[in-house]
Amino acid sequence: MQIVLRSISYFRKDLWLIATLLVLIGASVVLNLLNAWPIAILVDTVLSPTPKPNWIHTLFLAPFGEGRLNRIFGMAIVGMIIKILSDTVIMLRKMLNYRIQYNGTMRVRTELYDKLQALSLGWHNSQSQGDAIYRLSYDSLGPWGVIDVLIGSTAASVTLTAMIGIMLSRHVLLTVFALSFTPLLILANWYFEGEIKRRATNSKRTDALMTSTMQQAIELIGLIQSFGREATESRRFAQVVEQSVAASMRLNWLETLYPLAVQVIFALGGGVIFGYGGYLVYRDQFLRPVPNGLTIGDLIVFMAYLAQFWDPLGWVLGFTTKIQTFVASCDRVFAVIDLAPAIADEPDAQPLPVRPRTLALCDVSFEYSPGRPVLRKISATIEPGQMVAFLGPSGTGKSTLLNLLPRFYDPMEGHVLLDGVDLRTFKVCDVRKHMAIVTQSSPLFPGTIAENIAYGRADAEFHEIQEAAIESGAAEFIETLPEQYDTIVTEGGQNFSGGQRQRLAIARALLTNAPILILDEPTSSLDLKHEQWVIQTLQRLRRLKTIILVTHRLETAVDCDQIFVMQGGEIVESGTHAELLGLRGLYERMLGYRF
């Protein structure tokens, strides 16, 4: 019930559409109830040598006079009108269904997307991207599925109530026979309900794994081709697809067997009622005729209602079974939406106006897995306008340290401070406005070059975009392109080299108003000429912005105000280039190795 109520909450803004839909459902019920009457009236009153009219017959025939031919054509016209109106109402119901579905699903997807954006890097790094895409694309349809089944069951309840009333008015015993098969339906629903939910959950898990495998293969296509692993990856994908197909088939068998079981029960009931009803017509009209006996028209109406009676009865009794696949989707969506972000504003978080500030790390320790520390008791102070570098070989925790500064993670122990105040006391968005980051991967998104450079400052003027490109060295290749700054960047920036992507990323960071510029291996993808260009750019900016470098290239760090040498997750040496050489320690040995 909680899943149902929560699903309904996404459709509250569409209550007037749902009310209209319910009116149309009521119209469908009425038209369905009327659908069998023209032929029954034709058989019992118009064409019968001994007409047996009742008030319904009289009502239908009144507009067409007493002429038999007029009545025949009249019933044909009435039947046609009922059919056209019924199909029109069905069409309107479908269009309303689509609109309600799209509105509610949009809200579910938006909320899920916003939560995925809010969750920490730690969560995303522990999850498959394909799984997140599957939840957004397919599981987000779950709440609508719940509502659709609920609306269908509501319509079925109204239809069922009306039909039972009319069927009882026509023949009590036949109606009782029809309802006597209800226990068998309840038993079938009880059996299939739990199995369908279990298999639906497993099927969605394997489908999400297949989506993840596809996403990873496409993302790593260059690596796969370079090592000639196409056949291996094809076999791996085939295994995942086989798992998905097997899980889907197990679910499909149940989803197919369930309606078959229901239809078998309906067939048993229909056969019994048809046989008994035929006997009653024979008895009342031919064997021992009675004035108010069951007529052929009555049996036609009863069997027509019975054909419509089974479907709503199946909906009402099978509500919990039909809903299980959608409940499984809802569980996966709500499980993410209900997650508490690891990085979030404290209830009393304070705003933080953007301006140059002193950044300090005080005894900072961090670990991704319990008992396996990545950083140990890191302490450093960086004054506004300084350019500092964190040096060390790969695996010493340099990039992890950078992730603590904009609060992608929080330290397990110690504090990261701005002007002496812990970052956790400020609003996360304000902390991140103080920092512009250039990562090793230099991600770009589809759009123009100008849009990519201005991503961190959408209100930037074109001349400011140009200046940032010039400072980063990106203008050199941009201005050789036919479309220059209007050149379209393909997905992942694959139409540019690694060095070009790096310079665009640096330009993007330079354009922001962030007083702290953080660069992770900023010259790793650059040749010597452009490396020197970037270093000179950083030298020009060093008094205007605080610049933090993470690098293993000593040439990038020698002119820094402070150099922090890291090893094994600790700062083992710190000072200027000259001071570190004087220590004759790790830094001097690194300089000798020149790696």
pLDDT for 301-340, tens place per residue?
777 767 666 667 766 766 776 777 788 888 888 888 888 7
- Helix/strand/coil (H, E, C) string of 306-337? HHHHHHHHHHHHCHHHHCHHHHHHHHHHHHHH
At 530 the pLDDT is 65
d(CA 377, CA 372): 14
Q: Three-state DSSP class for 376?
A: strand
Going by C-alpha positions, the residue among 373, 380, 408, 441 that lies closest to residue 573 is: 380
Q: Are the beta carbons of 74 and 64 closer than 8 angstroms?
A: yes
Examine residue 407 and state whether it is found in any structural domain, yes or no: no
Task: Examine the pLDDT at 552 and tell me if it is beyond 80.
Answer: no
- Helix/strand/coil (H, E, C) string of 198-264? HHHHHHHHHHHHHHHHHHHHHHCHHHHHHCCCHHHHHHHHHHHHHHHHHHHHHHHHHHHHHHHHHHH
At 376 the pLDDT is 87
**Domain coverage including residue 159:** 2-337
Examine residue 107 and state whether it is found in any structural domain, yes or no: yes
At 8 the pLDDT is 81
Going by C-alpha positions, the residue among 269, 285, 39 that lies closest to residue 174 is: 269
Q: Are the beta carbons of 365 and 416 closer than 8 angstroms?
A: no
Tokens linked to 335: 């499980």
At 223 the pLDDT is 63
At 374 the pLDDT is 85
Mean pLDDT across the stretch 149-163?
Answer: 78
- Fill in the DSSP letter of residue 342: S
Mean pLDDT across the stretch 436-454?
Answer: 81
Examine residue 222 and state whether it is found in any structural domain, yes or no: yes
At 157 the pLDDT is 80
At 86 the pLDDT is 85
pLDDT for 365-378, tens place per residue?
888 877 788 888 88
Examine residue 242 and state whether it is found in any structural domain, yes or no: yes
CATH number of the domain residue 65 falls in: 1.20.1560.10
- 23-37 per-residue burial string, b: 16 or more CB within 10 A, e: under 16: ebbebbbbbbbbbbb
Q: Are the beta carbons of 359 and 419 closer than 8 angstroms?
A: no
Specify the range with the lowest mean pLDDT, choosing from 139-143, 246-250, 522-526, 545-549. 522-526
Task: Examine the pLDDT at 117 and tell me if it is beyond 50.
Answer: yes
Longest Cα pair distance anywhere in the chain, in angstroms? 123
Quickly tell me which residue has 């069927």 as its tokens: 167
Of the two residues 251 and 194, the one the predictor is more confident about is 251
Examine residue 594 and state whether it is found in any structural domain, yes or no: no
Mean pLDDT across the stretch 336-362?
Answer: 84
Confidence of residue 111 (pLDDT cuts 50, 70, 90): confident
Specify the range with the lowest mean pLDDT, choosing from 85-94, 228-237, 341-350, 585-594. 585-594
At 179 the pLDDT is 74
- In this prediction the pTM is 0.69
- Dihedral of CA atoms 55, 57, 60, 66 in degrees, nearest 10, equals -110
Specify the range with the lowest mean pLDDT, choosing from 20-24, 31-35, 261-265, 318-322. 318-322
Going by C-alpha positions, the residue among 501, 534, 513 that lies closest to residue 387 is: 534
Examine residue 307 and state whether it is found in any structural domain, yes or no: yes
Exposure of 499 in the CB half-sphere (CA atoms within 13 A)? 15
Examine residue 43 and state whether it is found in any structural domain, yes or no: yes
Examine residue 403 and state whether it is found in any structural domain, yes or no: no
Mean pLDDT across the stretch 104-116?
Answer: 85
Specify the range with the lowest mean pLDDT, choosing from 109-123, 186-200, 468-482. 186-200
Quickly tell me which residue has 């695996």 as its tokens: 395
Number of domains in the chain: 1
Of the two residues 334 and 57, the one the predictor is more confident about is 334
Task: Examine the pLDDT at 595 and tell me if it is beyond 50.
Answer: no
Mean pLDDT across the stretch 21-28?
Answer: 84
